[in-house]
Amino acid sequence: MSKEEIIQPQNLVYQKPRLMNDNPMHYCPGCSHGVVHKLVAEVIDEMGMTDHTVGISPVGCAVFAYNYLDIDWQEAAHGRAPALATAIKRLWPDRLVFTYQGDGDLACIGTAETIHALNRGEHITIIFINNAIYGMTGGQMAPTTLMGQKTSTCPYGRQADLHGFPLHITDIAATLEGTCYVTRQSVHTVAAIRKAKAAIRKAFENSMAGKGSNLVEIVSTCSSGWKLTPAEANQWMAEHMFPYYPLGDLKDI
Amino acid sequence: MKGAVVIDTERCKGCNLCAVACPLNLLELTPHVNLKGYRYVAQLNPDACNGCASCAIVCPDACITVYRTRTE
């Protein structure tokens, strides 16, 4: 059977998500953001919520997320995405409202907004991309940077006496009464990507069912910031990030 | 099972994650570059592809479309 005979519409098994447009993404080669964008697009499309979704894009690498997914978006000031999501969800309760934030945005400048929005039990989903570094601004140390990890602002590695300890904000979120689903996933393998998609779907469904706030952390790579190839970055993440940030559901009620 | 992939080589950034994910090792970066200057991937032996879609699922830039059919 020739390739032309196989390439028929009835044989299609995977294609670019319908909600993802043709704009080339600005992310570095191999960046986890692209995979998570695809998952968000697929889940929204499968839920039939295309016209009833509002995404909040952050400041950080995902600042241009609104260029790539054809849904309604709102840009937030640095770290303030959960506050904006709160307002939109309260004014428009029938909308699926989610924020898409990195670790510098969510776990540093926006810690207060994040914790209070989750603690109030706002019916929103926060997608948290944790790559242990400030990617967009040049690989500086973030609150989630691992002990001993070298970044452009801690070139000798993170030290407890000088820089403090990594912030486990997802574990903090799991202790809050307002959250209903808190999970930590990854997108480095096909199996992990399938699990992450199921987690995003569950979080979106919970927020539409009014169960409480949802936090989906995706442990991600930053191959440019870590100065590794994309494949090496995935390996480094599995070896060094997962012991600090173990995958799995932290809270599911 | 027989599969076929179509790669959008202009969208590809040559991250090579698809080649790592392919269980049959059928994808490889070519020496050629696209308009953006990235080396892009191509399928070495298209006849061996079983259409498992692993490459497309891990592709961060959604460059790969996968087709699959059952052969008797």
Domain map (residue ranges) of chain B: 2-69
pLDDT at B11: 93
Query: Could you tell me if residue A3 is inside a domain?
Result: no
Query: Could you tell me if residue A10 is inside a domain?
Result: no
Task: Tell me if chain B has a CB within 8 Å of the CB of A14.
Answer: yes
What number is the ipTM of this complex?
A: 0.94
Amino acid symbol at A121: G
Instruction: Please report which confidence band the pLDDT of residue A5 belongs to, taking 50, 70 and 90 as the band edges.
Output: confident
All residues of chain A having their beta carbon less than 8 Å from the beta carbon of residue B20 are: 231, 234
Residue A2 has pLDDT above 90, yes or no: no
Residue A223 has pLDDT above 90, yes or no: yes
By Cβ distance, the residue of A7, A15, A231 closest to B16 is A231
Instruction: Please report which confidence band the pLDDT of residue B44 belongs to, taking 50, 70 and 90 as the band edges.
Output: confident
Taking residues A145-162, what's their average pLDDT?
93
Query: Could you tell me if residue A165 is inside a domain?
Result: yes
Indicate yes or no: CB of A1 within 8 angstroms of CB of B2.
Answer: yes
Q: What is the pLDDT of residues A192-211, one digit of tens each?
A: 999 999 999 999 999 999 99
The tokens of B23 are what? Answer: 């269980």
Q: Provide the residue range defining the domain that includes A199.
A: 26-252
Taking residues B19-36, what's their average pLDDT?
93
Query: Could you tell me if residue A67 is inside a domain?
Result: yes
Instruction: Please report which confidence band the pLDDT of residue B41 belongs to, taking 50, 70 and 90 as the band edges.
Output: very high
Q: How far apart are CA A14 and CA A30, in angstroms?
A: 19
By Cβ distance, the residue of B36, B62, B66 closest to A13 is B66
All residues of chain A having their beta carbon less than 8 Å from the beta carbon of residue B61 are: 24-25, 27, 34
Instruction: Please report which confidence band the pLDDT of residue B13 belongs to, taking 50, 70 and 90 as the band edges.
Output: very high
Instruction: Mention the CATH class of domain B2-69.
Output: alpha beta
Strands B27-33 and B39-43: antiparallel
pLDDT mean across residues, chain A: 93
Residue A20 has pLDDT above 80, yes or no: yes
Q: How far apart are CA A177 and CA A213, in angstroms?
A: 10
pLDDT at B71: 78
Query: Could you tell me if residue A239 is inside a domain?
Result: yes
The total domain count for chain A is 1
Query: Could you tell me if residue A188 is inside a domain?
Result: yes
Strand partners, A140: A134
- Which among A75, A74, A73, A131 is positioned nearest to A107, based on CA atoms? A131
**Which residues lie closer than 8 Å to A251 by C-beta, 6 or more apart?**
A173, A174, A179, A180, A181, A182, A183
Smallest CA–CA distance, residue A163 to chain B, in Å, is 33
| CATH number of the domain bearing residue A195 | 3.40.50.970
Q: Would the pTM count as exceeding 0.90?
A: yes
Q: How far apart are CA A215 and CA A59, in angstroms?
A: 18
Residue A212 has pLDDT above 80, yes or no: yes
| Contact status, residue A98 vs residue A55, Cβ threshold 8 Å | yes
Taking residues A154-162, what's their average pLDDT?
93
Query: Could you tell me if residue A7 is inside a domain?
Result: no
Query: Could you tell me if residue A238 is inside a domain?
Result: yes
Helix H or strand E encompassing A75: strand A72-75
